[in-house]
Chains A and B, each alone.
Chain A
Amino acid sequence: MKSEHTTHLHRKTDPAPVISFSHTAGSRVDLSSGKYLKLWQGPQHPGITGNMSLEVTLHGDEVVDLRTHVGYLHRGFEKLMERRTYMQNFPIVCRICVPEPDFNEYLYAAAVEELAGIEVPEKAVWLRNLSLEMARLTSFLQWIGGQTGAFGMGTIGQWGITHRDYILDLFEELSGGRIYHMYIIPGGVRADMPEGFPGRVREVLNKVEILMDDIERAMFYNAIFKMRAKGLGIVPHSMLDSFGITGPIARAAGAARDTRKDQPYLLYDQLDFKVITGSASDAYERAWVRFQEMHQSISLIRQMLDRMPSGGAIHTRLPNPLHWKIPAGQTYRRAECTRGEYGYYLASDGSGYPRRVYVRGPSYTHAVALMETLAIGVNIADLAGLMVSFHTYPPEIER
Chain B
Amino acid sequence: MKYEKIEELLSAMWEKTGLGRLGTGTADSPETAVTGAAAAAVHQQIQSSDLAFVKVPADRGRHLIMDLRDHFGFTHLVFLTASDYIESGVFTLTYMLHSYTRHWDIGVQIDLPREGSTMESIHDLWAQAATYQRELREMFGIDFPGSPRIDEPFILEGWDDVPPMRREFDTKEYSERTFFPRPGRSTNDPAGYMRQKLYPKE
> Does B193 sit within 8 A of A, measured CB to CB?
no
By beta carbon, the residue of chain A nearest B109 is A330
By beta carbon, the residue of chain B nearest A257 is B100
Per-position 1/0 for B108-131, Cβ under 8 A of A:
000000000000000110111011
Binds A, one of B2-10, B36-44, B151-159: B151-159
By beta carbon, the residue of chain A nearest B171 is A79
Per-position 1/0 for B83-97, Cβ under 8 A of A:
111000000001010
**A244 and B105 within 8 A (CB):** no
Binds B, one of A288-296, A313-321, A341-349, A378-386: A341-349
**A329 and B164 within 8 A (CB):** no
Binds B, one of A95-103, A120-128, A356-364: A356-364
**B78 and A360 within 8 A (CB):** yes
**A331 and B127 within 8 A (CB):** no
> Does B26 sit within 8 A of A, measured CB to CB?
no
Q: By CB atoms of chain A within 10 A, which of B77, B81, B164 has the most?
A: B81
Q: Which one, A23, A80, A243, contacts B126 given CB within 8 A?
A: A243
29 contacts between A and B (CB under 8 A): A24-B148, A71-B156, A74-B156, A76-B164, A78-B165, A79-B169, A241-B76, A241-B100, A242-B126, A243-B127, A243-B128, A244-B78, A244-B128, A257-B100, A330-B45, A331-B47, A332-B78, A341-B78, A343-B96, A345-B79, A345-B81, A355-B85, A358-B79, A360-B78, A364-B79, A364-B132, A368-B131, A369-B127, A370-B128
Shortest distance in angstroms between B101's beta carbon and chain A's nearest beta carbon? 10
**B76 and A355 within 8 A (CB):** no
By beta carbon, the residue of chain B nearest A367 is B131
Taking CB atoms and an 8 Å cut-off, the chain B residues in 154-188 that contact chain A are 154-157, 164-165, 167, 169, 171
Q: By CB atoms of chain B within 10 A, which of A262, A356, A370 has the most?
A: A356
**A244 and B77 within 8 A (CB):** yes
Which 6 A-B residue pairs are closest in the complex by CB-CB distance? Answer: A356-B83, A71-B155, A365-B128, A241-B75, A369-B128, A360-B79
Taking CB atoms and an 8 Å cut-off, the chain B residues in 24-50 that contact chain A are 45, 47-48, 50
Contact A70 to B47, CB < 8 A, known contacts A241-B76, A332-B105: no
Chain A residues, CB < 8 A from B127: 19, 21, 239, 242-244, 369-370, 373
> Does B149 sit within 8 A of A, measured CB to CB?
yes
> Does A155 sit within 8 A of B, measured CB to CB?
no
Chain A residues, CB < 8 A from B14: none
**B83 and A21 within 8 A (CB):** no
Cα A358 to Cα B47 with chains together (Å): 17
> Does B72 sit within 8 A of A, measured CB to CB?
no
**B53 and A330 within 8 A (CB):** yes
Taking CB atoms and an 8 Å cut-off, the chain B residues in 51-81 that contact chain A are 51, 53, 75-79, 81
By beta carbon, the residue of chain B nearest A246 is B76
**Chain A residues engaging chain B, CB cutoff 8 angstroms:** 19, 21-24, 70-71, 74, 76, 78-80, 82-83, 114, 239, 241-244, 246, 255, 257, 262-263, 329-332, 334, 341, 343, 345, 347, 355-356, 358, 360, 364-365, 368-370, 373, 398
Shortest distance in angstroms between B62's beta carbon and chain A's nearest beta carbon? 15
Chain B residues, CB < 8 A from A241: 75-76, 100
Shortest distance in angstroms between A266's beta carbon and chain B's nearest beta carbon? 16
Chain B residues, CB < 8 A from A263: 50, 103
**B128 and A23 within 8 A (CB):** no
**A21 and B123 within 8 A (CB):** yes
> Does B107 sit within 8 A of A, measured CB to CB?
yes
Chain A residues, CB < 8 A from B157: 71
Chain A residues, CB < 8 A from B79: 343, 345, 358, 360, 364
Q: Which one, A257, A345, A365, contacts B94 given CB within 8 A?
A: A345
Chain A residues, CB < 8 A from B155: 70-71, 74, 398
Cα A24 to Cα B50 with chains together (Å): 37
**A329 and B47 within 8 A (CB):** yes
Cα A301 to Cα B20 with chains together (Å): 50
**B130 and A23 within 8 A (CB):** yes
Cα A360 to Cα B77 with chains together (Å): 11
Q: By CB atoms of chain A within 10 A, which of B131, B132, B154 has the most?
A: B131
**A347 and B51 within 8 A (CB):** no
Taking A241-B76, A332-B51 as given, write out 20 further A-B residue pairs in contact, using a Cβ cutoff of 8 Å, ordered by the A residue number.
A24-B148, A70-B155, A71-B154, A79-B164, A82-B167, A241-B100, A244-B128, A255-B100, A330-B107, A331-B47, A343-B78, A343-B96, A345-B79, A345-B81, A347-B83, A355-B85, A356-B84, A358-B79, A368-B131, A373-B127
Chain B residues, CB < 8 A from A79: 164-165, 169, 171
**A364 and B123 within 8 A (CB):** no
Chain A residues, CB < 8 A from B154: 70-71
Shortest distance in angstroms between B81's beta carbon and chain A's nearest beta carbon? 4
Cα A79 to Cα B84 with chains together (Å): 11
Cα A360 to Cα B76 with chains together (Å): 13
Contact A364 to B78, CB < 8 A, known contacts A332-B107, A356-B83: no
Cα A381 to Cα B45 with chains together (Å): 51
Chain A residues, CB < 8 A from B128: 243-244, 364-365, 368-370
Chain A residues, CB < 8 A from B107: 330, 332, 345
